[in-house]
Structure formats: structure tokens, C-alpha cells
């Protein structure tokens, strides 16, 4: 008698075989993590956590529009909790590493598969955003390395972060690089959000309309809040930043 069951993912193209003859405790979990549906699940879960960080970060950075006093107050407030900030940073870093490793493995696997089976490729979701997930992801990684070096590691502890923000964004090319990065982030989130919803099984006719609206609205909201900051400084409006 066959003691294998196959769980089909919402996408219909990922299988996870559970072999009940393997009695060893925890073995099913190991198999799940190795399967493509398992990796997609952890990809979606880590993506959701990163999205939550982005939402909090966008909300905090929006204080820039109110002026340096408010932004500095927000940054100082965060630094009143150094242990919490350290724990959050380590947690965030680990989630990010998991997301990158799983993402690259799925991206390379998909590229190999689509190269070999052209017909199969046409059956799967095939948009510009979905095809370029690996490239936009790597670009965001490059942005993150530059971003964290600039704002977390490089400034001396005696330079207020609002001054660092003002100085960096007064460089046209720095601001332009940020704008391009936020466009890459928007494209990445467009497919990422859609894919996450599919993996979590929300692709039901009742939610399809809401999901298609959110796959555009979520990236656009981040693009407007984050992208508005370099534009604010590039346009000259940021000249009043230090006076408020």
C-alpha cells in the first residue's frame, strides 16, 4: 500500500511528498523545508516579516517630511531601547539571509526548469516582475549594503542622524540611486506580494479583486513614501528640513 501523500500548493506546480514510513520525529519537517512548497512557504513568511519592517520603517522615515526635529526625536526615541533595537536587528538580519538564500535557490531552479521545458514555462505566471525577481532582489541587496553602511555604520555617534540624512541626500547621484532602488523595490514587491498571497492560499475568487488591487497599491505606497524623500531633497524643498 502506498503510504505517500502529495500536497498540492495553491499555485498547482509545487509538490511536497510526506512519507509516513519515515517515523523519525522531525523528519517530515526536514523534508518540508527541502521541498519547493516548503521553501515557498518560508519565502512568503520571511517576505511578510520584511514587509512589516518596511511598513514600520516607512512610517518612521515619514517624520522627515515634518522636519529634522521630529525625525531626530523618532531616531533618539528608538535608541532609548538599545537591547530591543539589537534584538530586532539580529532577527531582521536572519530573516533577510533566509529570504535571500531561499529566493536564490528558487530563482535558479526556475531558470533551469524554464530553460528545459518551454511549455511548462508558459503555464506558470510570467510577468516582467516575476521573471526579474532574482535581479531586483540582488539590486535591493546592493542598496541595503550601501544604505546600512551610510546610515548605521559610517556616521560617528556624535553626528545627529538628521544631519547625516540631510548631507547624504544633498548629493544628486546618491538621491538618484535611492530612487532607482525604490523602483526596483516596487517591482520586487509587485510580484512578491502576489506570490505570497498565492502561497498562503488567498487566491480565492472572493479575494482575487482585493489581491490584484493590493499587488499594485502596496508597492506604490512604498514608492511614494520612500521615493518622496530623495525627491524632497532633489527638488530643493528639503532646504527647510533643518529649520523644523
Interacting residues toward ligand HEM by CB under 6 A: 54, 57, 61, 75, 89, 92, 140, 144, 147-148, 151-152, 161, 165, 178, 185, 226, 229
Q: Which residue minimizes CB distance to ligand HEM? A: 89
Pick the closer one to ligand HEM by CB: 84 or 123: 84
CA 173/CA 86 separation, integer angstroms? 31
**What is the residue whose three cell numbers read 521573471?**
131
Whether 32 contacts 220, CB under 8 Å: no
Pick the closer one to ligand HEM by CB: 38 or 47: 47
Pick the closer one to ligand HEM by CB: 65 or 202: 65
CA 182/CA 178 separation, integer angstroms? 6
- In the complex, the smallest distance separating the C-beta of residue 212 from ligand HEM, rounded to whole angstroms, is 24
- In the complex, the smallest distance separating the C-beta of residue 88 from ligand HEM, rounded to whole angstroms, is 6
Pick the closer one to ligand HEM by CB: 16 or 74: 74
CA 193/CA 48 separation, integer angstroms? 8
- In the complex, the smallest distance separating the C-beta of residue 49 from ligand HEM, rounded to whole angstroms, is 12
CA 115/CA 73 separation, integer angstroms? 53
Ordered alpha helix ranges (H), the chain: 27-34, 36-61, 68-78, 82-116, 118-123, 128-131, 133-148, 161-169, 172-199, 205-234
- In the complex, the smallest distance separating the C-beta of residue 91 from ligand HEM, rounded to whole angstroms, is 9
Pick the closer one to ligand HEM by CB: 97 or 144: 144
- In the complex, the smallest distance separating the C-beta of residue 239 from ligand HEM, rounded to whole angstroms, is 17
Amino acid at each position: 500500500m502506498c503510504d505517500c501523500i502529495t500536497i498540492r500548493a495553491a499555485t498547482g506546480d509545487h509538490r511536497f511528498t510526506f512519507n509516513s514510513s519515515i517515523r523519525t520525529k522531525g523528519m517530515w519537517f526536514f523534508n518540508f523545508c527541502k521541498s519547493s512548497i516548503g521553501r515557498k512557504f518560508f519565502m512568503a513568511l520571511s517576505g511578510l516579516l520584511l514587509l512589516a519592517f518596511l511598513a514600520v520603517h516607512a512610517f518612521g522615515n515619514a517624520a522627515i517630511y515634518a522636519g529634522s526635529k521630529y525625525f531626530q526625536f523618532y531616531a533618539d526615541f528608538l535608541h532609548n531601547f538599545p537591547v530591543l533595537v539589537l534584538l530586532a536587528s539580529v532577527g531582521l538580519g536572519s530573516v533577510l539571509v533566509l529570504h535571500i538564500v531561499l529566493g536564490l535557490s528558487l530563482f535558479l531552479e526556475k531558470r533551469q526548469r524554464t530553460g528545459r521545458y518551454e511549455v511548462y514555462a508558459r503555464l506558470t505566471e510570467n510577468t516582467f516582475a516575476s521573471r526579474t525577481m532574482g535581479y531586483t532582489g540582488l539590486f535591493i541587496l546592493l542598496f541595503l549594503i550601501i544604505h546600512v553602511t551610510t546610515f548605521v555604520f559610517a556616521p560617528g555617534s556624535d553626528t545627529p542622524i538628521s544631519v547625516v540624512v540631510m548631507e547624504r541626500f544633498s548629493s544628486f547621484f546618491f538621491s538618484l540611486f535611492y530612487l532607482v532602488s525604490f523602483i526596483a523595490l516596487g517591482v520586487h514587491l509587485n510580484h512578491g506580494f502576489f506570490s505570497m498571497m498565492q502561497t498562503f492560499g488567498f487566491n480565492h475568487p472572493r479575494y482575487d479583486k482585493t489581491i490584484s488591487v493590493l499587488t499594485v497599491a502596496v508597492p506604490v505606497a512604498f514608492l511614494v513614501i520612500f521615493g518622496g524623500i530623495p525627491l524632497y531633497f532633489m527638488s530643493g524643498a528639503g532646504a527647510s528640513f533643518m529649520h523644523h
